[in-house]
Amino acid sequence: MVQKPSIPKGTRDFGPVETARRNYIFSTIREVFGLYGFSPIETPSIENLSTLMGKYGEEGDKLLFKILNSGEWLKDLEGESFTASDSAKLTSKVSEKGLRYDLTVPFARFVVQHRNDLTLPFKRYQIQPVWRADRPQKGRYREFYQCDADIVGSDSLVNEIELIQMIDSVFEKLGIRVVIKLNNRKVLAGIAEIIGEPERLTDITVAIDKIDKIGIENVKVDLAQRGLSQEAIEKLVPVLDIKGTPEERLNQLKSLLSNSETGLLGIAELETLISATTQLETKAEIDLDVSLARGLNYYTGTILEVKALDVEIGSISGGGRYDNLTGVFGMPGLSGVGISFGADRIYDVLTALNLFPDTVTSAPSVMFSNFGEKEAIAAMRMLKELRSEGIPCEIYPDAAKMKKQMTYANSRCIPFVALVGEEEMAKGMMTLKDMTEGTQTLVTPEEAVKIIKRK
């Protein structure tokens, strides 16, 4: 039976070029994580549903990919009478496991499960795929990578400073100009206090989080619909409308929030971060953004988000401080702070700005053409020398017509072709053809190494 092959909606095949480019992003991020002393961990793709359910809200529960129990999965449905609409209710009878939805909940589970083996503060990074049964659409996939670094077990702002430097370093290495937007959940709490609605922090943050997308007038309508008084809304507007340099705005905020202890604490934290990034000569633009809330309710201190300056696209990195991530797994009071890089969006930014280096390629540097059995063995001896010098190279496997071999080298964009015919073989040399220049020279393997490395 012949099948027309396809892959599920929202998933992707990555060919050689895409994979090499993605690996370039991952290894840049991994290198920076390592330079800052973060250790890699990996958790299983499959977690117990009891670990995942209830952690991402009702909507999240629906978006979890659930794995059908092995063997007689129908056994707990026997004798049940049901309709299609009972699906959600009966899921737990046929499925005990699901695919990882993010890296944060598995990390929290990991920390609690291995608490006796970990030294705190614990700095981990994790670069692994996650799965969400979202409706597939442009830029949204059902399988995608997350690249997370977190520190748990330390309240110090030094962690935030290091994380900001890491973001700065990753985007400097990638050549992407960015602005790092900072806010603090305590400032948001302070604002809720001074407008007289301390209990409505969630409503307020969810609404003002949308200010960039829908504008301040629509945010006002939204807040009114959420039941905020007109008085509170009018008090809120000037806070969202402060202008000037980050330092000037911090000063304005300080007087606006002078009656809120929490708010002032948040401002002091922001001042520390902004001052440190200046002293450490952070390359990225640092901005204060009081409207930044990052939807997620578990943040309790610093919130940050990164935008590319030269491409119109959503945030490409973000993070913040949270106080009680591990509580649900029985380990309360452990503070943490972390950042996450969005590899897919970073890929799109690098593509749009044409920033992938030419050296990021899936092709070898040299292809040796194949003139027959004896010549091939001689070529393979030379290939061995080149490889021992770290030069990726290959031999065309068949003694095909030269035109076919050259077409192959061209279609893979291989920069050099080496010819080892009878004459070269006798001399222990090769004719090295520079495919971009069109030149060719008779060289020893050692000379070839130099020429190729120079290029």
Applying CB under 8 A, which part among 90-98, 197-205, 263-271, 415-423 lies near a copy of itself? 90-98
User: Considering only residues 26, 56, 112, 252, which one is a binding residue for a copy of itself as defined by CB under 8 A?
Assistant: 112
The residue assigned the tokens 């050296």 is 359
Contact 174, 240 (CB under 8 A): no
Nearer to a copy of itself, 214 or 381 (CB): 381
CA distances from 396 to 15, 35, 345, 368, 387 (A): 20, 40, 37, 6, 16
What is the three-class DSSP state of 319? Answer: strand
State how far the Cα of 253 lies from the Cα of 191, in Å rounded to an integer. Answer: 9
Contact 340, 147 (CB under 8 A): yes
Q: Which two tokens stand for residue 428?
A: 């222990």
Q: What residues from 387 to 406 belong to the interface with a copy of itself (CB under 8 A)?
A: 387, 390-395, 397-399
User: Considering only residues 25, 61, 104, 109, which one is a binding residue for a copy of itself as defined by CB under 8 A?
Assistant: 109
Applying CB under 8 A, which part among 58-66, 198-206, 208-216, 230-238 lies near a copy of itself? 58-66
Q: Which residues pair with 393 in a beta bridge?
A: 366
111: nearest Cα among 298, 341, 328: 328
Residue 351 near a copy of itself by CB under 8 A? no
Residue 413 near a copy of itself by CB under 8 A? no
Residue 124 near a copy of itself by CB under 8 A? yes
The residue assigned the tokens 């076919």 is 404
Q: What residues from 197 to 236 belong to the interface with a copy of itself (CB under 8 A)?
A: none
What is the three-class DSSP state of 382? Answer: helix
With CB under 8 A, what is the number of residues at the site for a copy of itself? Answer: 115
Beginning with the edge strand found earlier in the chain, give each strand of the sheet holding 122-131 in spatial order: 39-40, 122-131, 143-152, 336-341, 317-322, 299-308, 178-184, 285-288
Closest approach, Cβ 322 to a copy of itself, in A, equals 16
Applying CB under 8 A, which part among 159-167, 210-218, 342-350, 431-439 lies near a copy of itself? 159-167
User: What contacts 82, CB < 8 A, 6 or more positions away?
Assistant: 90
208: nearest Cα among 194, 223, 196, 193: 223
Applying CB under 8 A, which part among 201-209, 346-354, 376-384, 426-434 lies near a copy of itself? 376-384
User: Considering only residues 72, 199, 217, 358, which one is a binding residue for a copy of itself as defined by CB under 8 A?
Assistant: 72
User: Considering only residues 25, 29, 101, 131, which one is a binding residue for a copy of itself as defined by CB under 8 A?
Assistant: 131
Q: What residues from 31 to 50 belong to the interface with a copy of itself (CB under 8 A)?
A: 34-37, 39-48, 50
Applying CB under 8 A, which part among 187-195, 223-231, 384-392, 419-427 lies near a copy of itself? 384-392
Residue 161 near a copy of itself by CB under 8 A? yes
Nearer to a copy of itself, 50 or 230 (CB): 50
CA distances from 193 to 204, 236, 296, 301, 404 (A): 11, 10, 20, 16, 74
Residue 346 near a copy of itself by CB under 8 A? no
The count of C-alpha atoms lying within 13 angstroms of the C-alpha of 53, restricted to the half-sphere facing its C-beta, is 13
Residue 92 near a copy of itself by CB under 8 A? no
How far is C-alpha 403 from the geometric centre of its chain's CA atoms?
43
State how far the Cα of 32 lies from the Cα of 166, in Å rounded to an integer. Answer: 6
Residue 436 near a copy of itself by CB under 8 A? no
User: Considering only residues 24, 25, 66, 197, which one is a binding residue for a copy of itself as defined by CB under 8 A?
Assistant: 66
Nearer to a copy of itself, 188 or 415 (CB): 415
298: nearest Cα among 205, 212, 419: 205
Contact 38, 124 (CB under 8 A): yes
Nearer to a copy of itself, 23 or 315 (CB): 23
Closest approach, Cβ 288 to a copy of itself, in A, equals 20
User: Considering only residues 140, 173, 381, 453, which one is a binding residue for a copy of itself as defined by CB under 8 A?
Assistant: 381
User: Considering only residues 25, 29, 104, 142, which one is a binding residue for a copy of itself as defined by CB under 8 A?
Assistant: 142
Residue 94 near a copy of itself by CB under 8 A? yes
Residue 238 near a copy of itself by CB under 8 A? no
Closest approach, Cβ 304 to a copy of itself, in A, equals 17
Q: What residues from 252 to 291 belong to the interface with a copy of itself (CB under 8 A)?
A: 276, 279-280
Q: Which two tokens stand for residue 151?
A: 């520190």
Residue 369 near a copy of itself by CB under 8 A? no
E strand or H helix that includes residue 20: helix 16-35
102: nearest Cα among 340, 344, 348: 340
Contact 339, 317 (CB under 8 A): yes
Applying CB under 8 A, which part among 75-83, 193-201, 215-223, 347-355 lies near a copy of itself? 75-83
Residue 377 near a copy of itself by CB under 8 A? yes
The residue assigned the tokens 């206090």 is 193
Q: What residues from 4 to 33 belong to the interface with a copy of itself (CB under 8 A)?
A: 4-8, 11-16, 19-20, 22-23
What is the three-class DSSP state of 361? Answer: coil
